[in-house]
């Protein structure tokens, strides 16, 4: 599989740098409210990357953290009158439910920042000892970016902005800041009254870790100095990932991430999503409007991850039609297989181009297109060939993480008596393992516009697409 890398601005093959497992880290949610569908664009694309690797027989180790201590979680837990841990536990649980509904595979490891305070303190100690960090008078500790010549490579901060000499004595204490705020950034924040009870002891006095540090510490803990891929939305390139590189390279050495995968932002109605504009959607908002999580997932993978994707409610309606069409196509293909063909082929058949698209810089919109083209090409296939095509279709579908809507079984009251009799005769033939007879009756039913679907103990009838 090939994928664009933010650091080198070129496509690279994705292969484990060591051993046979592809080990990757994704910056996870800040759990101070419900995740919005922009966040889920990023998480869904990371999921498709993992599923594609796994469908291609590469084992993965997926680590995604929970940010449960930072400026925002502390501020809002206090506003809610809850302890930080109660507050973040509630939002973490909601996030995980949304992930499950959207078909996201749970990460193999999901560490939280609060559970890794000692590791973060140890990393700061290493940085101070090596001259890359210093304590200020109030007991906060800052990373000295002038001490790391590689600073700014990932985000290509231009030289003018990054005259490291100029950053001396300028410091950012907030977790988040913009490009014009290039400055020494905070590793440890001295306790302030607005932190309430949220502080920990450290060699520099009571306080709490800065946001950027948590990922470096958890990566060191679970993936070591060098690992295969690091990912997040584009907003994380600067300063978050730039700061992670600085911290990890200076504290631990090693290569850090071999590959950087950044997902471009989701826009809503052509603009930025924001609470104040009233266009910030959560999964719950869309479910309330009658859409399913799979329709949301379909929309989120409907654009290439390197281009902005514009979300509209109309696109969800289009996704509903597209999913229904895929489901009809798959059912028709299954019907042409013949009842008793169980062939598990390894290839992709007419869905090879769709699979190739996924492996070519994770081109999800082209892969979706390839599913429809493949179904058209497979229209004349029967028996074993239809079965092989269906296996390929299902494999691409699994890599995309899509589940197709089931068609409701026909109301038995609406099934004409002769059709019912044919279906019963076929079921009896099947029970008697009279496959030829059962296939002939199935074909006969199909001619009359009915599909038979066999269950374990019974069959259902559906009008043919
Ligand atoms: P946060 O919970 O704010 O830490 O963000 C979680 C993830 O969502 C990060 O990888 C962000 O970069 C990503 N993200 C935030 N907003 C958007 C958006 N509008 N579109 C795509 N990804 C986003
Ligand atoms: Zn991070």
Give pLDDT tens digits for 81-112: 999 999 999 999 999 999 999 999 999 999 99
Q: In what order do the strands lie in the sheet with 260-263?
A: 59-64, 21-26, 229-233, 260-263
Q: Are residues 60 and 108 in the same domain?
A: yes
CA of 42 relative to ligand 1 center, distance in Å? 6
Indicate which ligand has the atom closest to the C-alpha of 235. 1
CA gap 318, 94 in Å, rounded: 27
Q: Are residues 167 and 222 in the same domain?
A: yes
- Tell me the pLDDT band of 459, cut-offs 50, 70 and 90: confident
Average pLDDT over residues 64-79: 96
Q: Is residue 212 part of a domain?
A: yes
Closest residue to atom 14 of ligand 1, CA basis: 39
235 Cβ inside 6 Å of ligand 1: yes
* Whole-number percent of the chain with pLDDT over 90: 78
Pairing mode, strands 141-143 and 171-172: unpaired
Q: Are residues 196 and 320 in the same domain?
A: no
The residue segments making up the domain with residue 170 are 2-263
Q: For position 213, which CATH number holds? A: 3.40.50.620
Q: Are residues 81 and 183 in the same domain?
A: yes
Q: Are residues 234 and 302 in the same domain?
A: no
Q: Are residues 371 and 457 in the same domain?
A: no
273 Cβ inside 6 Å of ligand 1: yes
Residue ending a domain, choose from 400, 429, 450: 400
CA gap 174, 117 in Å, rounded: 18
Ligand 1: residue of 30, 36, 42, 237 to mutate (most ligand atoms within 8 A of CB) is 42
- Tell me the pLDDT band of 164, cut-offs 50, 70 and 90: low
CA gap 125, 138 in Å, rounded: 17
Q: Are residues 254 and 393 in the same domain?
A: no
Residue ending a domain, choose from 246, 263, 280: 263
Residue ending a domain, choose from 219, 247, 263: 263
Indicate which ligand has the atom closest to the C-alpha of 236. 1
Q: Is residue 176 part of a domain?
A: yes
Q: Is residue 282 part of a domain?
A: no
**Which residues, including other chains, have CB under 8 Å from residue 437's CB and lie 6 or more apart?**
426, 429
Q: Are residues 374 and 339 in the same domain?
A: yes
The predicted structure's pLDDT at residue 50: 98
236 Cβ inside 6 Å of ligand 1: yes
The overall average pLDDT reported for the chain is: 92
Q: What is the pLDDT of residues 107-134, one digit of tens each?
A: 999 999 999 999 999 999 999 999 999 9
CA gap 47, 131 in Å, rounded: 39
CA gap 2, 15 in Å, rounded: 9
Q: Are residues 42 and 62 in the same domain?
A: yes
38 Cβ inside 6 Å of ligand 1: yes
* b/e sequence 252-276, b meaning 16+ C-beta within 10 Å: beeebbbbbbbbbebbbeeeebeee
Our count of domains for the chain comes to 3
Q: Are residues 416 and 337 in the same domain?
A: no
Q: Are residues 321 and 419 in the same domain?
A: no
Average pLDDT over residues 421-440: 91
Largest CA distance in the chain: 89
């Amino acid at each position: 599989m090939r994928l664009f890398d933010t650091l080198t601005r070129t496509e690279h093959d994705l292969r484990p740098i060591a051993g046979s497992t592809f080990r990757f880290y994704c910056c996870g949610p800040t759990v101070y409210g419900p995740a919005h569908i922009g966040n889920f664009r990023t998480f869904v694309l990371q999921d498709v990357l993992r599923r594609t690797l796994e469908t291609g027989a590469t084992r993965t180790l997926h680590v995604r953290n929970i940010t449960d201590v930072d400026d925002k979680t502390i501020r809002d837990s206090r506003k809610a009158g809850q302890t930080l841990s109660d507050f973040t536990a509630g939002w973490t649980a909601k996030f995980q439910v949304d992930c499950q509904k959207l078909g996201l595979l749970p990460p193999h490891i999901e560490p939280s920042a609060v559970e890794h305070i000692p590791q973060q303190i140890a990393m700061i100690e290493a940085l101070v000892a090596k001259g890359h960090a210093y304590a200020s008078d109030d007991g906060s500790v800052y990373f000295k970016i002038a001490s790391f010549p590689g600073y700014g490579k990932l985000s290509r901060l231009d030289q003018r902005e990054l005259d490291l000499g100029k950053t001396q004595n300028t410091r950012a204490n907030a977790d988040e800041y913009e490009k014009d705020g290039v400055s020494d950034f905070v590793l440890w924040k001295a306790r302030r009254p607005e932190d309430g009870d949220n502080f920990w002891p450290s060699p520099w006095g009571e306080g709490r870790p800065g946001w950027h540090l948590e990922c470096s510490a958890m990566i060191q803990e679970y993936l070591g100095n060098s690992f295969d891929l690091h990912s997040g939305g584009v907003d994380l390139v600067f300063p978050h990932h730039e700061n992670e590189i600085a911290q990890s390279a200076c504290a631990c050495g090693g290569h850090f991430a071999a590959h950087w995968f950044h997902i471009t932002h989701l826009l809503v109605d052509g603009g930025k999503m924001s609470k104040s504009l009233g266009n910030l959607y959560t999964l719950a908002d869309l479910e309330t409007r009658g859409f399913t999580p799979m329709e949301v997932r379909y929309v989120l993978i409907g654009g290439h991850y390197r281009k902005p994707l514009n979300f509209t409610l109309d696109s969800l309606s289009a996704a509903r039609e597209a999913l229904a069409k895929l489901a009809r196509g798959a059912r028709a293909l299954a019907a042409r297989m013949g009842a008793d063909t169980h062939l598990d082929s390894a290839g992709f058949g007419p869905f090879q181009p769709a699979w190739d698209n996924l492996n070519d810089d994770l081109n999800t919109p082209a892969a979706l297109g390839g599913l429809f083209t493949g179904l058209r090409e497979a229209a004349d296939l029967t028996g074993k060939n239809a079965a092989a095509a269906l296996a390929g279709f299902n494999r691409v579908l699994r890599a995309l993480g899509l589940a197709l809507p089931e068609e409701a079984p026909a109301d038995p009251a609406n099934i004409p008596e002769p059709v019912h009799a044919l279906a019963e005769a076929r079921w009896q033939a099947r029970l008697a393992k009279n496959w030829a007879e059962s296939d002939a009756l199935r074909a006969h039913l199909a001619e009359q516009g009915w599909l038979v679907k066999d269950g374990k103990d019974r069959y259902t009838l559906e009008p043919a697409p």
